[in-house]
Structure 1
């Protein structure tokens, strides 16, 4: 310290020295402040850099989110297509099953047709035409079977049933053909029979006492017995004949 400064400090009772120390302290604080400011600048730059990196990462994440949303949409579309394919596959399977069922039905019909053809090609022999005894003599005046006749043969699987029946206590309305207790066919009694009128001239119903009907028996076995029944107007059922058949 120069003598002038010392002299000034002595004359000012040390005030100058105090100011000098304050100036030094202020310089020190200024240097610290400048250092802190520089540090803050560096931190600010780092923060800005981190912010830029964060923004860049955010943009990348947003891109990933957009891509993810697109992938989800594509996945939904694929699922919809898969569901549609499954529905189409199920429809095709149902169509295939229907086709297989139709094929089986067609094959069954073909087999049945072949069986039917074989049956109608096989002649049917009439073994016996048996008149059944009448238990109620007041039921019928009489009856007769003109066709089929014993030892004859039927062709094409069809037999002509022809005859007459004349009711006594009640008019005969129908003739029923049964097999094993089941009705096969009924035919009306209405055919003209002039010959029967000659035998029963006093009975008006004799003029139209005839019946006639063809009947196919292809569905029966190799041997069968058919029963003919007269059905009267009062619902009485009178068995009149048993016809024995053989293929």
Structure 2
């Protein structure tokens, strides 16, 4: 099972908090009876998350009346982010299967809901292409102009992404100079240059793209193919990582080296 970003698990807790707040109505106070009515509208893991997160809020405050207000909910949400999610992402690169297994039951339930609510790798790749509309790749010494980004998706069940798993997923032939990896680079460095390259009017768009890809894909890197010069002047570029469903997702473009 692929890593899952903390932001996705936090979003599941935020969704549950919103359900609890909504159940309270106009007075901003949610009772046990109101929660029962709310969870009756839900099913599966989402129902359980709302129910158990409400219980978590009540237990934190030792509240015998089982009535919680917005302040109680926000305080519990902050605690959940810090104690049930961030504390288990020990290397700050998304939650691995082992890290999820170490989480308490409520944290694991939020992970389950987060996975249910995630987009597939294919959907994410199309979303990234839409975010990259009108942005161009002018990097790595390319001689191409107006090279736009296209979506890229490859079905897989990856636990992590490295040079070996990238080659295997794309079915590359390492004895072919065109298929050899010429360069691997940090996505963070690439996105910093992408933001710097574009005009002020496009900076926000480039930042939004970077944030979307970095928050949803694990092991995000840039791969450039084609041994130089045997691989020819045109080199495919992949900005890809592991999607929540284990597939390879991101963007592709080209560079030209003379």
- Which category of TM-score, normalised to the shorter sequence, fits these structures? under 0.3
Name the TM-score, length of structure 1 as normaliser: 0.24
By relative contact order (CA 8 Å, sep 6+), the higher-ranking structure is: 2
- Greater CA radius of gyration, 1 or 2? 1
TM-score, reference length from structure 2: 0.23
